Structure 1
Amino acid sequence: MNFFEKSSLLLGAISLFFLLSGCGTVEAVHEADQYVSTIEQIDIPDDIKVIGLGEATHGNIEFQELKKDVFEVLVKNENVRVFVLEGDFGGGQQINQFILNGTGTAEEAVNTLDYIIYKTEQMIDLVQWMHDYNATVSEDRKVYFYGNDMQRYDYNKKGVLDYYKVVNTDAFKKYALQLEHVSNDKMRELTTEELIEINETIENIMLDLQTNENNYVEESSTEAYLFALQYAQILKQRTQLFLNEEDYTKLRDQYLTDNLQWIAEFEEKRGHDKIFITGHNGHIEKTSASLAGYKSMGNYLDELYGEKYFAIGTDFISSEFQAKNGGSGERQIYTLENHNDLVDAFNEVESNVFYVDFENASKSDELLDLMSRKQKMANIGDDFRWWYKTLKTFYTIEITPNEAYNSIIIVKVATPTNIIE
């Protein structure tokens, strides 16, 4: 067999693989539309404390729009007042200041997250809506914005140092000098020795805050003190991720959970007993199904809150999405179809975006069977390469839907976000 014959066979095999991987095995369920509802009709059980919304990709307009659309419903119908994003804690507090006080613009506030996936019109619209909503309601009805991630330094460092300017100017000068080289721009250039020194400085800051709690609270407030301690905690988490890169994914979801729990407890003391958290499907789902082998935030939340954690997954049938090419580092548009038995069962539903509550859908024996069987559901991060499409393992997560989630939002055709440079 010559080279050209071998190449033809290989191309034919690859083409056949793509064809087969895009085919569903289940026909649409008859009258499936009776088991779906609009986003505006989402109804969450009364005793839920944490509501999670996953996203199948970071690079689709529809999934970013769902953050606002779902939260707006929860604010109006479920008395939810706290929005938490899989984004930087310190940057999240800059957004919070904007939605509460109108400092700057929504775009400037979003940029403080330093996450390029969120530099979109959809995120700006979300933050602007929260700002405008707060301007129309009484103090007890206002909404609050948080990030629960720890992958940035700048605004967490700023939070700690700004606090020391108020309570201890000598400590401010000392710690500002010791943390001078700690920044988002330079953090990946830090040596192990430098990281160890940074970790020691942060531990000293936390010890100083805890030792002088009474004095510092008198000079500021209990709320300001607690935030300063949490900013320091985020700095420590970021540093620990660098020092333990072999356990990065494992530690990150543990930290995401710790920070979400801190937010929930802090806000509960202010009378807000429900929070909304949005992030990647792999962080929201309850069963730690990722082949990366880490325990998901959703799994931790399921253990912490039990039936009081309500997880909403997302999936698509066809998606044109934006992501970073893992090889070149450039952002590109990719096209992908992802068929699985569950989403294909709803193929004849007319709406492009619709909500499926599993408790309601389980009234159908056919749907209950599908929800109870493992499905390869979309799970795409911000790193993609064209050859990932050759094997579903690279762009899906195999889960049992009604074990991983309480409900799902299906987007039949998803379109790409546009990054604002």
Structure 2
Amino acid sequence: MKIRFFLIILFMFSFYSIRAQNGNELTNEQKQYITKFIYPISTYEPSTSNNDDLEVLSKFIGNSDIVGLGESTHGSSEVYKMKYRISQYLIKDLDFNIFSLEANMPESYLMNNYISKNIDSPKDILRGMYFWLWQTQETLNFVKWLKIHNENTNNKILFDGFDMQYYFGALKQVRDVYNANNYPLDDINSLIKILKDNKRGQKKYKNKIQKTVNLLLDKVSQKASQIKDEESKKRFLQNITIIRQHIKVGSSVTRDKFMAENVDWIKQNYNPSKVIVSAHNFHVSKENSLSMGYHINQKYQNNYVNFGFAFFEGNYTASIDRKIGTFTSQTAPIGSVEYNLNSLNLPYFILDLKAIKKDNNELGNWVLKKIPFRKTGSGTKNDEFRKTNIADSFDYLIFINKSSHSNLLREY
């Protein structure tokens, strides 16, 4: 009986040892090695007064003046809180002065009416940004913080977007300039009719329509020479650019390229500027040549630093089968990035991927390979994980052990 029991124990030990050696689970040696590159975070709550745990960001970011903050889903409360806590630190302690996010540029820019001029309703502005993603208590709390910050400092924050999925806000703001200056509305009315009558759905406008629209926009852009206020002039011209981009977008390839161009426009037009870029992990990634982050990195190189985000289990707000609500996430499977990080038994931390990559030690080689990593966005019906090389995608990875759904401001 004792021999049989001993054999069972020996078999179990061998099984788990082999599984760890095959890369399904980290060995104790691998865990000890990876902890050298971990910086614990005390909390994800933006309201905390002690930011000692975030001081390492000064070292990580250095002189870079574009920081990409990702997200593994568009609906995790803890991820958004952590992003906003980090953003507050970057603004207060590292002098970042622009916060931009993955939302339509003209509609997002209206948030400056609230945070800088104390006019308009922040809820209405968030609602006007179309998607439910930012219509949350987490984002509302952050923009309220931005307003208070702007009231009490000379380092004023500009709020902006860099997306172009809709033309409505851009065209409205162009038309407002026409109305304010009593310009004839013939060209504007023609644009409205063409864009409305040729609604593209998920496909770009036909080349013939694009040509007609661009000719009209050429005529509209000539009005810029009559606009005296420089801020109004550059926004007028950028709104025309947003419409041009919108009619060309036919896939994530062109959308991400245009988003990168819009981030570059923000950087160039508000100089000196230090820009926070908030978007999905995929968009801020440096590794994928289709992503916005890839294009930003190609131009700005060491001036662009990015942080991916990951969580092990929980739930999140999502849109699946046209239903917006709370959905249970897949618990990270054995062998995934999140499973390995969760095995370290630390609730929140930053993983220094740049240092691991530079060290190039065999004990950390799982970080340098393509292994499962959560890629959910606004909702994934089936498998939430895709094989990803996180060290090529991000400079740093922020891990949170458990996610809960973001808190929507209204019911859907």
Asked if the contact 1:50/1:309 (under 8 Å) is kept, the reply is: yes
CA distance in 1, matches of 2:33, 2:206: 62
SS of equivalent to 1:70: helix
Residue aligning to 2:380: 384
Show CA shifts across 1:345-397 (max 9, x none).
43355553222222455669466423222222111121322xx13xxxxx233
CA drift of 1:145 comes to 0.7
Indicate the larger mover: 185-194 or 58-67: 185-194
Count of residues paired in the alignment? 370
Residue aligning to 1:280: 280
CA distance in 2, matches of 1:249, 1:168: 38
Show CA shifts across 1:63-105 (max 9, x none).
2212311111111222111111000101111112211111122
CA distance in 1, matches of 2:369, 2:204: 46
Residue aligning to 2:247: 239
Residue aligning to 1:333: 327
CA distance in 2, matches of 1:174, 1:136: 45
Residue aligning to 2:405: 416
Does residue 224 (structure 1) correspond to residue 218 (structure 2)? The answer is: no
Residue aligning to 2:40: 37
Say if 1:40 and 1:93 are closer, same or farther in 2 by CA, change over 3 A: same
Asked if the contact 1:377/1:398 (under 8 Å) is kept, the reply is: yes
Asked if the contact 1:314/1:409 (under 8 Å) is kept, the reply is: yes
Say if 1:159 and 1:24 are closer, same or farther in 2 by CA, change over 3 A: farther
Residue aligning to 1:206: 218
Asked if the contact 2:332/2:339 (under 8 Å) is kept, the reply is: no
Say if 1:123 and 1:192 are closer, same or farther in 2 by CA, change over 3 A: closer
Q: How does 1:289-368 map to 2 (within 5 A)?
A: 295-326=290-321, 328-339=322-333, 340=335, 342-347=337-342, 349=344, 351-360=346-355, 365=361, 368=364
Asked if the contact 1:319/1:415 (under 8 Å) is kept, the reply is: yes
Q: How does 1:141-290 map to 2 (within 5 A)?
A: 141-167=155-181, 169-170=183-184, 173-181=185-193, 187=199, 197=209, 200-209=212-221, 211-214=222-225, 216-217=226-227, 220-241=228-249, 245=250, 248-268=251-271, 271-272=272-273, 274-288=274-288
Amino acid at match of 1:318: E
CA drift of 1:188 comes to 5.7
What runs of 5+ residues in structure 1 fail to find an aligned partner?
1-22, 289-293, 390-394
Does residue 62 (structure 1) correspond to residue 78 (structure 2)? The answer is: yes
CA distance in 1, matches of 2:175, 2:132: 26
RMSD of aligned C-alpha atoms?
3.0
Say if 1:314 and 1:27 are closer, same or farther in 2 by CA, change over 3 A: farther
CA distance in 1, matches of 2:163, 2:215: 19
What runs of 5+ residues in structure 2 fail to find an aligned partner?
1-22, 42-52
Does residue 131 (structure 1) correspond to residue 131 (structure 2)? The answer is: no
CA distance in 2, matches of 1:189, 1:60: 28
Residue aligning to 2:13: none
CA distance in 2, matches of 1:190, 1:369: 40
Say if 1:96 and 1:343 are closer, same or farther in 2 by CA, change over 3 A: same
CA distance in 1, matches of 2:220, 2:200: 27
Amino acid at match of 2:75: G
Given the two structures, how large is their TM-score scaled by the length of structure 2?
0.81
Say if 1:175 and 1:352 are closer, same or farther in 2 by CA, change over 3 A: farther
Asked if the contact 1:195/1:239 (under 8 Å) is kept, the reply is: no
Does residue 406 (structure 1) correspond to residue 395 (structure 2)? The answer is: yes
Given the two structures, how large is their TM-score scaled by the length of structure 1?
0.79
Asked if the contact 2:204/2:247 (under 8 Å) is kept, the reply is: no
The runs of at least 4 aligned residues of structure 1 exceeding 6 Å deviation read 182-186, 189-195
CA drift of 1:312 comes to 0.6
Asked if the contact 2:40/2:348 (under 8 Å) is kept, the reply is: no
SS of equivalent to 2:309: strand
Say if 1:299 and 1:377 are closer, same or farther in 2 by CA, change over 3 A: same
CA distance in 2, matches of 1:413, 1:120: 19
CA distance in 1, matches of 2:406, 2:139: 10
Show CA shifts across 1:292-335 (max 9, x none).
xx611111111111122111111111131221113x54545133
CA distance in 2, matches of 1:352, 1:370: 21
Residue aligning to 2:111: 95
| Identical pairs, percent | 18
Say if 1:56 and 1:226 are closer, same or farther in 2 by CA, change over 3 A: same
Aligned partner (choices 113, 116, 121) of residue 132 of structure 2: 116
